[in-house]
Amino acid sequence: MTNKYRYFIGNWKMFGQLSSIKILKRVNSYLNKVKNNNSKVIFCPPYTLINSFAKQLKKSLISIGAQNCHHESNFGPHTGSINSKMIKNSGAKYVIIGHYENRIRGDTDLLINKKIKASLNNKLKIIFCIGENRKQKNKRITNKILNKQITIGLKGINKKSEIFVAYEPIWAIGTGLVPNTLNLKKNLKFIQTKLKKILNNYKILYGGSVNHKTIKFIASIENIDGFLIGGASQSSKKFIDIIKNSYK
């Protein structure tokens, strides 16, 4: 295995129940068996499972995160919402912010910025999602979109803040498609150049159709520190296969 830590982050979306802890326990069992393991594993289940999973995995190699949060830090009249203070209190250490599924429901870059600030204030580590859609890609304005998302999303963020920036081309999510080598390298280089001007401590992740087949190619690309994994993270076998294949 490489000496470089690789982050494997599972975004469960609307999946899972209390008994689904067995999936994470199988992954943890695998991690315990691997010598010189350089994998950092994080699972982001629905809010309903955070506390239970965090308690059961307290002494494990797996950390727990949330999939989103409200932009207000304090309690308030926001029916159905959960803020970063509540997430932290439930036992999570991470939170995904800016996922495209929440962007299309109304999360603007400005709102995402507020969520990031609120979460940092409550000592959560941020997994900040960015990416262009198919129309934007075809118009060749990917850099413009990424620049806007990064500039506004991270405006006013302390340079010392630890941020995981997940590049997720929207057109690649759930389609089985991934960018070609040239485009992926070019976009990652652009992201890295932007982040260097804003943060001192960041990691770049890739998300979008990450599975046991595509991971070999994705992992071969420089400047990728880890992977944001959707549907494949709902199966312990598929998730473990992704980890195994990423080091081959």
Give catalytic residue positions. 99, 168
**Which element (helix H / strand E) includes 51?**
helix 47-56
Angle at 133 between CA 8 and CA 169, to 5 degrees: 20
The two structure tokens encoding residue 165: 């920036």
What distance in Å separates the CA atoms of residue 160 and residue 77, rounded to the nearest whole number?
A: 33
Q: Which distant-in-sequence residues (6+ apart) come within 8 Å of 166 by Cβ?
A: 9, 96, 127, 128, 129, 130, 204, 205, 206, 207, 228
Beta strands in 36-144 (DSSP E): 39-44, 62-66, 94-97, 125-130
Grouping H, G, I as helix, E, B as strand and the rest as coil, residue 82 is coil
What distance in Å separates the CA atoms of residue 149 and residue 235, rounded to the nearest whole number?
A: 31
The two structure tokens encoding residue 119: 């979460």
* Side chain identity, residue 112: I
